[in-house]
Structure 1
Amino acid sequence: MAENKKRRRTANKRGARKGLRRSKTIALKKLSEAERQEIAEVFNSIESKRPAHRDQCRMAERPCPYVSCKYHLYLDVNPNTGSIKLNFPGLEVWELSETCALDVADRGGITLEEVGELLNLTRERIRQVEATGLEKLRDEYDD
């Protein structure tokens, strides 16, 4: 009986129903100097090739190879700490159904559930982020 409860709890973990793993964050301060150097070299080698604005990338190849772009859905970089959040640690970039947030925005409105699947977050977390963003916009507009 206890074995059965343990299995059910595992099956109900976030993302288990879709086979997704939780996102993984890599703290920049925990990387060795050699790893930081390697990241800087890779970034510098692709920076000149990366599109500078939306018109340059709108018709570019998909999946988008520029994971360092702030609109790419594969990873997020915290500008304050430099930490890297891998949204889909169990997948490679070319395995994602969508790779660019701007492509999703161009399609028009989608449900919280669909946004959650694209970002590997729950529908509730997407709702919270949306509410926070709308509140910030209201505060900016009221000033």
Structure 2
Amino acid sequence: MSGPRQLPLTRGECVDGPRPCPHVRCVHHLGPELVAPEFATSCALDVADRGGASAAEVAAVLGVSVEEARRIEGEALARLRAWMTGYGGSRRREVDCASSQQR
């Protein structure tokens, strides 16, 4: 009899694992409430590996309009930039670059 299933410790341990991902306690799991058929992804790392998600995909998952998804994105990026500024802004350029690539 095996013990409880252990969470993967590295991306390499889960990249080729079953989907939807069974590790709902993992910090990268999107949660069952966000795994919609339109998105068909259960892991934030899978989304990152494919280059992100469009505003339309995010809107479908969240059940909001595309405009609302963009507003949420803008608010999240503003919070992230403010947090980065608190650390001397050394990584702000990376956040700005990633933001512009998603549009």
TM-score class, shorter: 0.5 to 0.7
SS in 2 for 1:142: coil
Q: CA deviation at 1:131?
A: 1.9
Normalised TM-score (structure 1):
0.46
Aligned partner (choices 100, 110, 113) of residue 56 of structure 2? 113
Measured at CA, do residues 102 and 140 of structure 1 come closer, stay the same or move farther in structure 2, by a change above 3 Å? same
2:61 pairs with 1:61: no
Q: CA deviation at 1:94?
A: 8.9
Gaps of 5+ in 1: 1-43, 76-86
Find the aligned partners of 1:125 and 1:67 in 2 and give their Cα distance. 24
Aligned partner (choices 76, 88, 93) of residue 141 of structure 1? 88
Q: Percent identity among equivalent residues?
A: 31
Measured at CA, do residues 107 and 138 of structure 1 come closer, stay the same or move farther in structure 2, by a change above 3 Å? farther
User: Which residue in 2 is equivalent to 1:103?
Assistant: 46
User: Which residue in 1 is equivalent to 2:72?
Assistant: 125
State the structure with bigger RCO (CA 8 A, min sep 6), 1 or 2: 1
Q: CA deviation at 1:50?
A: 1.9
Q: Per residue, is there more strand in 1 or in 2? A: 1
Find the aligned partners of 1:115 and 1:62 in 2 and give their Cα distance. 19
- 1:74-89 to 2 correspondence within 5 Å? 74=31, 87-88=33-34
SS in 1 for 2:86: helix
Larger radius of gyration: 1
Q: Aligned partner of 1:130: which letter?
A: L
User: Which residue in 2 is equivalent to 1:52?
Assistant: 9
Q: Aligned partner of 1:102: which letter?
A: L
CA RMSD of aligned residues (A): 2.9
SS in 2 for 1:45: coil
| Equivalent pairs, count | 83
